[in-house]
Amino acid sequence: MPLPLIIGIGAAIAGVAGVGAGIHGGIKMKEASDTVKSAQRRNEQNVARLEDSNKITMQTMDNLGKYEMEIISTFERFSVAFEKIKNPPSFAEIKKDNVALSVFTPQEVKDAAVGASVLLAGLGGAALGTASGFAAAGGTTAAVMALGTASTGTAISALSGAAATNATLAALGGGSLAAGGGGIALGTAVLGGATLGVGLLIGGIIFSVAGSSVSDKADKAWNQMMENEKKINSICDYLDKLKNIAKSFHSALSKINNLYMSHLVRLEAIIEEQEKKKFFLMRLFSKKVDYNKFSDEQKKITKNTILLVGLLYEMCKVQLVEKTENDDELNKINEEAIIHQIEQSEEALSKIDSVA
- What secondary structure does DSSP assign to 140-156, as a single string? HHHHHHTTSB-TTSSBG
Query: How many Å separate Cα 318 from the centre of its chain?
Result: 12
- Cβ contacts of residue 115 below 8 Å, gap of 6+? 72, 142, 143, 144, 145, 146, 147, 157
Confidence of residue 58 (pLDDT cuts 50, 70, 90): confident
Contact indicator for 64, 250 with CB cutoff of 8 Å: yes
DSSP helix/strand/coil, 85:
strand
Mean pLDDT of all residues in 174-199 = 43
Which segments within 100-172 are labelled E, that is strand?
none
Greatest mean pLDDT among 35-39, 123-127, 145-149 lies in: 35-39
42 or 137, greater pLDDT: 42
The mean of the pLDDT values for the chain is: 73
Poorest-confidence range of 84-98, 127-141, 175-189, 295-309? 175-189
Q: What is the DSSP letter of 198?
A: S
CA 24 – CA 256 distance, rounded (Å): 72
Reference 268, options 116, 83, 67, 68; nearest CA is 83
Q: What is the pLDDT of residue 247?
A: 96
Mean pLDDT of all residues in 298-304 = 92
201 or 236, greater pLDDT: 236
Contact indicator for 317, 108 with CB cutoff of 8 Å: no
Q: What is the pLDDT of residue 326?
A: 74
Bridge partner residues of 332 (DSSP): 322
CB-count burial class (<10 Å; 0-12, 13-18, 19+) for 130: buried
Question: Percentage of the chain surpassing pLDDT 70?
Answer: 63
State the Cα torsion 348-353-355-356 to the nearest 10°: 130
The enclosing H or E element of 332 equals: strand 332-333
Full-model pTM: 0.77
* pLDDT of 159 higher than 50: no
Q: What is the pLDDT of residue 190?
A: 55
Rg (alpha carbons) of the chain, rounded to whole number: 32
Q: What is the pLDDT of residue 350?
A: 86
- Please state, as a whole number, how many other Cβ atoms lie within 10 Å of the Cβ of residue 168: 30
Q: What is the DSSP letter of 90?
A: P
* pLDDT of 331 higher than 70: yes
- Cβ contacts of residue 248 below 8 Å, gap of 6+? 338, 342
DSSP helix/strand/coil, 163:
helix
* pLDDT of 140 higher than 70: yes
Q: What is the pLDDT of residue 47?
A: 84
CB-count burial class (<10 Å; 0-12, 13-18, 19+) for 97: exposed
Q: What is the pLDDT of residue 257?
A: 96
Reference 321, options 161, 167, 180, 133; nearest CA is 133
Reference 68, options 128, 115, 106, 125; nearest CA is 115
Q: What is the pLDDT of residue 98?
A: 61
Q: What is the DSSP letter of 157?
A: G
16 or 215, greater pLDDT: 215
